[in-house]
């Protein structure tokens, strides 16, 4: 599966939003889209999903132009998972997932046993079959987000776009959702996921794409793209990438905190260079005892 954009531009009236976006994304895998509010992430998603059509440039899915797809055919190639911020009163969990099977149906045909099987299989992949008959509106935020991911899977589309799937979730539900997303990316989906948390890109992503002022300012493996200069440029904050014992990737720590604990922190650059070039005090050194 491959999603490609070439010299993609989009604007609202005289206001330019996307500027020369060139991406070549293939799966399976997880692509994390980073950037501050208002930078054009939602607009990019709208173009990729075919809902914003007045763009300039080219978008192709598996080398076929996006404009050549009918709505039903496009739904079989790419799915969208929104944020779980609205309630759907009166619908059960399985009904919410069944809605995604519409592209499989002919005109005037309603979902039947085959579609319900697809819905239940999607719920099983996100570990939510035990709540299939529950009212969707009664679920927690994390449970709703997993159901919406299942709905995206029920479209049986190889490419899935997710709009900040962990927004407004508590820490435990964030990890549960990200664990499911990572498992899907490890099997048979190309997942493109927007996030405001660079740690999520570092810990879970295969690739990171950074947007600033409507243009791509960084793309590649997260440990190569996400650095202190990029985060300062994107968000206007001073952050240090710090190594943790046993971790293959760094974590982002606000600079004012690293200055408070400077004797016990190891920068990511020092960690990658090895202990021979590190200037920090060895945290394994035994304490000094004074008689």
Sign for the CA dihedral angle at 89, 95, 98, 102 comes to negative
Q: What is the mean pLDDT of residues 236-249?
A: 88
**3 state SS of 35:** coil
**pLDDT tens-digit readout, 179-199:** 999 999 999 899 999 999 999
Q: Find, among 181, 222, 184, 193, the residue nearest to 48 by Cα.
A: 193
Structural domain spans, the chain: 1-77+157-226, 89-153, 238-283
Backbone angles phi, psi at 66, to 5 degrees: -60, -35
Q: In angstroms, rounded to a whole number, what is the distance separating the alpha carbons of residues 271 and 237?
A: 22
Q: Which uninterrupted H or E stretch holds 115?
A: helix 113-125
What percent of the chain clears pLDDT 70, i.e. is strictly above it? 85
**pLDDT tens-digit readout, 208-235:** 999 999 999 999 999 999 999 999 999 9
**The tokens of 49 are what?**
């999903």
CATH 3.30.930.10 corresponds to the domain 1-77+157-226: no
Q: How confident is the model at residue 285 (pLDDT cuts 50, 70, 90)?
A: very low
Q: What is the mean pLDDT of residues 95-124?
A: 82
Q: Fill in the DSSP letter of residue 254.
A: E
Q: Fill in the DSSP letter of residue 139.
A: S
Q: What pLDDT shows up at residue 279?
A: 44
DSSP 50-88: TS----EEEEEETTEEGGGS-HHHHHTTEEEE--S-S--
Helix 171-185 crosses helix 113-125 at what angle (to 10 degrees)?
110
**pLDDT tens-digit readout, 133-178:** 999 999 999 999 999 999 999 999 999 999 999 998 999 999 999 9
Cβ atoms within 10 Å of 209's Cβ, excluding its own: 25
Is 284 a residue whose pLDDT tops 50?
Answer: no
Q: What is the pTM of this model?
A: 0.85
Torsion of CA 263, 268, 274, 279, to 10 degrees: -30
Q: Which of 52-66, 219-233, 255-269 has the lowest mean pLDDT?
A: 255-269
Burial class, 137, CB count within 10 angstroms (exposed 0-12 / middle 13-18 / buried 19+) = middle
Q: How confident is the model at residue 283 (pLDDT cuts 50, 70, 90)?
A: very low
């Amino acid at each position: 599966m491959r999603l490609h954009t070439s010299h993609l531009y989009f604007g609202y009236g005289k206001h330019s939003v996307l500027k020369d976006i060139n991406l070549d994304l293939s799966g399976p895998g997880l692509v994390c889209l980073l950037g501050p509010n208002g930078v054009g992430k939602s607009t990019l998603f709208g173009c990729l999903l075919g809902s914003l059509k007045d763009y300039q440039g080219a978008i192709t899915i598996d080398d076929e132009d996006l404009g050549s797809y009918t709505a039903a055919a496009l739904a079989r190639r790419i799915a969208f998972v929104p944020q779980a911020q609205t309630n759907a009163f009166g619908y059960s969990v399985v009904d919410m997932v069944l809605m995604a099977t519409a592209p499989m149906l002919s005109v005037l045909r309603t979902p039947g046993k085959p579609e319900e099987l697809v819905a239940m299989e999607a719920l099983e992949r996100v570990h939510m079959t035990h709540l299939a008959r529950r009212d969707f509106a009664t679920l927690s935020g994390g449970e709703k987000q997993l159901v919406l991911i299942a709905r995206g899977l029920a479209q049986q589309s190889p490419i899935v776009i997710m709009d900040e799937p962990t927004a407004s979730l508590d820490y435990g539900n964030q990890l549960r959702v990200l664990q499911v997303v990572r498992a899907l990316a490890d099997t048979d989906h190309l997942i493109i996921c927007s996030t405001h948390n660079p740690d999520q890109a570092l810990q879970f992503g295969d690739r990171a794409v950074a947007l600033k002022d409507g243009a791509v300012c960084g793309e590649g493996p997260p440990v190569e793209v996400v650095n202190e200069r990029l985060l300062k440029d994107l968000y206007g904050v001073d952050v240090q990438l710090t190594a943790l014992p046993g971790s293959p990737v760094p974590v982002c720590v606000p600079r004012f905190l690293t200055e408070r604990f400077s004797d016990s922190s190891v920068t990511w650059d020092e960690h990658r260079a090895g202990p021979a070039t590190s200037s920090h005090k060895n945290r394994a050194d035994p304490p000094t005892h004074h008689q």
